[in-house]
Amino acid sequence: MKWIKKGLIFRPDGTTPWMATHAAVPFADRIDGDIFRVYFCARDRSNRAQVGYFEIDITRPEEIIYVHDTPVIGLGPLGAFDDSGAIGSWIVNVNGRKYYYYSGMTLGITVPFYFYLGLAISEDDGRTFYKFAQSPILDRNAVDPYLTGHACVLRETSTWKMWYVSGQRWEAENSKPKHYYHVKYAESTDGLSWDRGGAVCIDFQSDDEYAIGRPCVIKENGLYRMWYSYRGQSYRLGYAESANGLNWQRKDGQVGIDVSDAGWDSEMIEYAHVFAHKGEQYMLYNGDGYGKTGVGLAILAGA
């Protein structure tokens, strides 16, 4: 694989209060023809994330057609699992509805934060969403006692398959708590209730790694392919393959994209969404500052 970078395509200008900084964890949803709606999470001046979107013509991605002025997934009520942030991850189209899986965040005391996977639903083609419940659909349990979030979901006939981030533990490092999370697998028959067996799909490859996040899975010719973010010193994009979606082989050396020598993605690269359109494969991704520098686009060479 070799990804050709097309450059930065979107970054908030700081004039909208809920969208003061960041455009993280992008997800492209085709509206019609070459027009895509790109959902992302922005942060307000209090560093709280909420989900919004902009629209582009994928043939002219540097020209932003439209930026929505209000969040489509906002903060939950005080005390809810998402009262301090909502971070979108994946959309599934279901019988005229859109299921948007997102991570709800709340702040902690002994550790700085918690996040759990929630669900928002749209019945107007993704222009607005309502929350399925005020509670997460993947709360903590014996399999996931710490954190859940950042899901990728594929429907295969009657089976829904999910790859999601699961917290493994917290450790004190330099008197501060440090999170460890990796990628697990779950199944469902309706996209709402999930069976979790604890299967780990992408685990740490070295002692330096402590965060593996934002899985993005596609299935081509019977082969599952996953892009994900892995973090030691700073985030990089990884790549893995699987014949069954459960047992994965990491092939990070084949990911075909890395940080640039200079500019907005020269320190880190993460949170990729890979999607196909008219025979091409595209990648939306973030660079420095966990999305603070905006959203970039790349195209797979020779796709």
pLDDT tens per residue across span 240-263: 999 999 999 999 999 999 999 999
Nearest CA to 119 out of 194, 37, 218 is that of: 194
- Alpha-carbon distances of 205 from 48, 202, 246, rounded to whole Å: 31, 9, 17
Contact 103, 115 (CB under 8 A): yes
**Superfamily of 3-300 according to CATH:** Glycosyl hydrolase domain; family 43 (2.115.10.20)
Report the pLDDT value the prediction gives residue 303, as an integer from 0 to 100.
58
Spell out, as residue ranges, where the chain has pLDDT lower than 50: none
Residue 234's identity, in one-letter code, is S
Do 26 and 11 form a contact (C-beta atoms < 8 A)? no
Q: What is the DSSP letter of 138?
A: B
Token look-up 């493994």 returns 168
Q: For the chain, what are the domain ranges?
A: 3-300
pLDDT at 143: 96
